Each structure stands twice: as structure tokens, then as C-alpha cells.
Chain A
Amino acid sequence: MLSRLLNFFLFLFFLSTLPNNISVIAATSKIELIEQNWPFNGIFGRFDKASLQRGFKVYTEVCSACHGLRHLSYRDLAGIGYSSDEIKVIAGEYEIIDGPNDEGEMFTRDAKMSDKFVGPYENDKVARLANNGAYPPDLSLIVKARAGGADYIYSLLNGYKDFPENFEAGEGMYYNEYYPGNQIAMPPQIEDDIVEFDDGTTASHIQIARDITSFLAWAAEPELESRKSLGVKTLFFLVLITIMLLGVKRKVWKNLD
């Protein structure tokens, strides 16, 4: 029985080493992603708050020119360690259209903590017009919505190369090793020192790619930390009660002998 129990835990361990999605296993022919040892991986995974704040800065100064984050509210930034006062200042830099007021007029006002992130474009059509016909996807769920998750986003940001010979490239397209079909409309964005980090961290392109990916992983799963910590407690409880039930079962069934 003990060896069976051991086998069961080995099985759980095996489960924990699986990639975050079954479709990754199915996609065999694709190029291998650059795997990173993210602090939010694994059973005890946690976000690195400093990295998330740096990533937020990268989003604000670089990504947000074209990409929205529509499922997030400014108040959610408390989750990456900002205080209410700081969030009010951050939100105050954006304007949103509200109304109608008592005179029946629409008006613009500063965004509040409770508002959703203000997107870069008024609608999809404007977004396509501004980007050579391509639509820059909303980033709130991007890490969950791509096979490979955070590793894919990180690889993509680092995956720009020159076009190989004989590659029929479309107008205004870029070559990326990791993008399906290898042609991507987004120009390479990550360079050394494209942002200046407030905490003095050197803004190498590797660092920037890591931080923005972490931030986007948080944006996709802001519940991750509470989920995993509740999970550890739940599993601890379940394993304990199951071992006790095993004892009870054996004791009860002994009556039959």
C-alpha cells in the first residue's frame, strides 16, 4: 500500500512537470521555445513584484502605443504593489469619455481607479488603419491565449531575424522564428535602454523582455498567487484526510476477517 501511495505521488509529480497546456504536446513540428525558469511556475510559484512593476513601465511606454489591456482596471495595479495614491496618479494621466451629464452632453474626464485601462484606439477599424491593416491584439489574456504561454511571448519578443533568402515577404512584414508562418506585422520592439527603470535595473533587451512577459503573465492570471497558495493548503488537507480515511477503511474492513 505504501508503494502504491508513493506511485500516486510520483504520478502527481509527473503531472506537475507537464507544460501548461495539452496542445503544446500536440504541436510537435514547431520550433522549440526559449524556456525560462519563471518565478510564477510550479506549485509554489509567486510573482516577482519588482519585475512586474518594471514590466508595467515597459507596457506603458512601449506596448500601450498599439495594444490595449481592456480586462484590467487601474485598481488592479494594487496587485503588483502600488498604493492607492500611486494608482490615482497613474489613472489620472488618462482621459476617458463619460456622460451624458445633466445637460445631455458627453464630456471627457480623468480616469479613476475604478475605470478599465484606456485603450490606444477608439475602435478596431482605426486600429487596423493605423497598423497597415493588422490588428494589434489586446494583451490582457495574451499569455493564456497562446500555446506555450509566457515562454512563447518571451521567445517571440526575442525571435526577430532577417528574412531568409527566397522568403516571399509581405509588404511591411517582419521575420520572426516563433510566429506561426514566420511573418509578423509587429516591428521588433525590444532594444537595450528603450526604457529607463526606476529601480536602477540595467535595461538590457533580455531584462526588458523578461519583465514585460512577467507583467503580461500577471495581467492574464492576476489570481495566480491566491490560486496556488489556496491549492497548496487544499492539497495538504486532502492528502491528510485521505490518509486518515485509508486507516478508517482498513479498520472497518478488518471486521470481516
Chain B
Amino acid sequence: MKEKEIDNSKGISGWIDKRLPVFTFINHNLRDYPTPKNLNYFWNFGSLAGITLVIMIITGILLAMQYTANTEIAFDSVERIMRDVNNGWLLRYIHMNGASMFFIIVYIHMFRGLYYGSYKYPREILWMLGVVILLLMMATAFMGYVLPWGQMSFWGATVITNLFSAFPIIGDYIVTFLWGGFSVDNPTLTRFFVLHYLLPFAIVGVVALHLVALHQFGSNNPTGIDVKSEGDTIPFHPYYTVKDYLGLGVYLIVFAFLVFFAPNFLGHPDNYIPANPLQTPAHIVPEWYFLPFYAILRAVPDKLLGVLLMFAAVLVLFFLPWLDKHKIRSANFRPFYKQFYWLFFINCIVLGWVGAMPAEGIYVLISRIATLYYFGFFLVIMPLLSKFEKTTELPSSISAAVISEKFDNKEPSTSESYVK
């Protein structure tokens, strides 16, 4: 696929492009951009995450025009949005469920990368920027959940900020510094609002870097084999633009279903009770997307160790490219890694499930085993497999893989045109 040159001697677009090459840029990155021809639907989730970020920022800005960050009226101002602002309920439910959808999308996006080895050479920085985005998202989501100032907002904020007190000597100072006082109160709410508004723009910045890093070497693909010739790629437009649109349609159906018919399904009823510092809810549970990490936190009897493990659970992702040094990217050709991978996937779901259960009895044991496997997968299994795992036979190129797939699935006569 040869790139179409923009003729910048003609017309208004040519005049602009000569001075500011926006059209060349768009052409290079969104139109002719050569993309492996064999990407499956799991490669839709990057663009879906980007779209969700835009949806969150737009609804968020509109909500901020009506919301008041003051402990006295924050709860009531949200109820006013729900009842008296035109379509306020729609904005808020989109924003509320959008946070959940964002995490679903990003988690699938990450599991895709983990399966197909998208973090390996030469895409290490691309992966690490992704982990930075995840961290920023977590901070943003946590602070956003505090803003409605319901019971779970208040007590969630209290529990999570208190985690920092586990650090010796400086712990209490950090907590006081975060709170802006001696308990979760008005200064805490105000600063959380400010940061909740600010951080998404930081995410936009890191997303831009993420894209620059992506377009340096282009997308990975289900075979994990590098692009070897022009025949392995197709232009991004129209093939992947239309595929992304189709994915977006399916995604919006699920999203809209939640917003319109089960808007509070993923939330907690206690957050419709105004915050009350004198009354602790029976169970303080974080939002579902934090549950696996919450389970790791509670798996350890020692508070400091629990906190460190919880942070380590995210930070270990930074080192993934150096923990898994196996030359072959895709799990499709790694019979052992593939099985450990699916076990890891199930393990994450188990962690999420025990995170929602009270920390007692059998749940503690389950959370410990699951925590052990979580870290064991990264720190023991991955390095060992890098050394000893023998892979199955790889196709010679992306095109060869596509052709053999068609041969397997269809009548040989229809696939003649592939063999050139």
C-alpha cells in the first residue's frame, strides 16, 4: 500500500497542508495507515476506550456545570441534576455507567495484550504508557465516586485514603495532607472535584503518547508475527474504520441498555443515602472494577503488607516486558502459556468475586490462594516459561496464516484467489 501524497500546491487544503500538515497527518495515521490484515474483534477495544474517554469528558463537563462541590449540598445538587435539570438523569447515568464501561473496555484491551504478547519488543513503552493510563483512570474513578457524597462515597474515601496511614512515620502526614484536614471533609471533597476534573485531560495527553508509540511500529496481530511485506497489511480506511464502527454499534447497544434499563445495577444502593460520618455502613465495598485489588489488599493480615501488595498488583504490570522474555508473542503458539493465561483470567474473576464478599471464613483462604496465583503468574510462571516453553509451528507470514485459516474453514475452490 503506497501512501497517497497530498498535493500541497493546489486548493485551500493544499495551502493549509503546506503550512500545517494536518491533512498529511490524517492521511498517514487514519487513512493509508498500513494495518495487519488479520486483526480480530479484540482489536476494537482500543478505539472503544478512546471513544468512551470522549463520552466521559463531554458528559463530565456538562455535569460540572450543575454540580456543587460542597459537603452541605453536594448530594442535593446531584439529586437536582437527576430531577430538575433537563435530561440531567441521562447525563448522570451515562457518566456513572460510562465509568464502568470504560473499565470493562480497558480490562478487555489489557487481557488482549496479555494474550497476544502485545507488550513485547518493540512495544514495551506502548504497554507501559497503557499502565500509566490505567493508574490515572483508577485515581480519576475513585475521586469521581466520592463526588455525589453518599454513604459509599464518604466511607470509600475514608477507607482508601486511610490506607496511606499504613506507611511508617510519614503515613499520618500523608493522610492529613490528602484530606486537607483531620478527616474526610469539605476540603477533601473540593480537591477531589478539582483533580477529578483535571486528571482526564492528563489521560488525554498520555493517550496521545500511547498512539504515537503505537504508530511507531503499528498494531500487533493475532499471530504475533511481524509484518513482513506489503501483502500482510491493508489500509486502515476503509477496512478498519468500518470494522470499528460496527464494534461501536454493538458496544453502544450494551452501554445504552445499562443506562436506560439498569442504570443502578453496577452501583451500590447505599450511595443514595447522604454521607453520614457518624454512621458506618454494614459493608464498605468499592466499585466493582476495584474489587480484585481490594481482595488482594484484604488477603494479607498485615495492613502495610496488604497496601504494598495492592499497589504491587498494578505496578508489576510495568515490568511485564522483562518478566516474559519469550520470543514468541501470541499465546496461540504457546501451549503452556495459553493454559496459565486462562487460569490467570479466571483467577482475576475469582479475586473480584471474593473482593465483594465479607473478609471472613473460607473467603479469606480463597483470596490468599488467588493472590498467590496472581503474583505467581507474573513472577514465577512467566520467567520460567520464557526459558523452557517450546512453541508450536508458526506460519511463515501473516498472509500465510490468513490463507491457511480460510482453507480450514471453507471449500478449497473458493480460496483460489488467495494463492497468487
- Residues on A with C-beta less than 8 A from B254 are 12
| Per-residue interface assignment for chain B, residues 258 to 287, with 1 indicating a CB less than 8 Å from any chain A CB and 0 otherwise | 111111111111101100000000100100
Q: B400: shortest Cβ distance to chain A, in Å?
A: 15
Q: Do A223 and B261 have beta carbons less than 8 Å apart?
A: no
B314 in the interface (beta carbon within 8 A): no
In the bound complex, CA of A238 to CA of B245 (Å): 12
Scan residues 73-116 of chain B and give those whose CB is less than 8 A from a CB of chain A: 76, 79, 82-83, 89-90, 93
In the bound complex, CA of A205 to CA of B86 (Å): 38
Which of B58-66, B137-145, B236-244 touches A? Answer: B236-244
A121 in the interface (beta carbon within 8 A): no
Scan residues 7-34 of chain A and give those whose CB is less than 8 A from a CB of chain B: 8, 12, 15-16, 18, 20-23, 26
In the bound complex, CA of A20 to CA of B264 (Å): 7
Scan residues 112-149 of chain A and give those whose CB is less than 8 A from a CB of chain B: 137, 140-141, 144-147, 149
Q: Do B242 and A227 have beta carbons less than 8 Å apart?
A: no
Q: Do B260 and A26 have beta carbons less than 8 Å apart?
A: no
| Interface SS of chain A | helix
In the bound complex, CA of A23 to CA of B246 (Å): 33
Contact of B238 among A22, A180, A252 (CB under 8 A): A252
- Residues on B with C-beta less than 8 A from A222 are 83
B249 in the interface (beta carbon within 8 A): yes
| Interface SS of chain B | helix
Count the A residues whose beta carbon is within 8 Å of the partner chain — how many? Answer: 45
- Residues on A with C-beta less than 8 A from B93 are 227
Q: Do B239 and A71 have beta carbons less than 8 Å apart?
A: no
A201 in the interface (beta carbon within 8 A): no
In the bound complex, CA of A232 to CA of B253 (Å): 11
Q: Do B246 and A246 have beta carbons less than 8 Å apart?
A: yes
In the bound complex, CA of A80 to CA of B238 (Å): 51
| Closest 9 A/B residue pairs (Cβ) | A231-B260, A242-B249, A145-B272, A223-B89, A245-B246, A144-B272, A141-B272, A249-B246, A249-B242
B residues lining the A interface (CB < 8 Å) = 37, 76, 79, 82-83, 89-90, 93, 234, 238-239, 242-243, 245-246, 249-250, 252-254, 256-270, 272-273, 282, 285, 288, 356-357, 417
20 interchain pairs, CB-CB under 8 A: A15-B258, A15-B262, A16-B257, A16-B261, A20-B265, A21-B267, A23-B269, A71-B76, A144-B264, A145-B270, A149-B269, A180-B282, A227-B260, A231-B259, A238-B256, A239-B253, A241-B249, A252-B242, A253-B243, A256-B234
**Beyond the given A21-B268, A231-B261, could you list 17 further A-B residue pairs with CB under 8 A, ordered by the A residue number?**
A12-B257, A15-B262, A18-B262, A21-B267, A21-B269, A26-B285, A144-B272, A145-B273, A220-B272, A227-B93, A230-B90, A235-B260, A242-B246, A249-B243, A249-B245, A252-B239, A253-B243
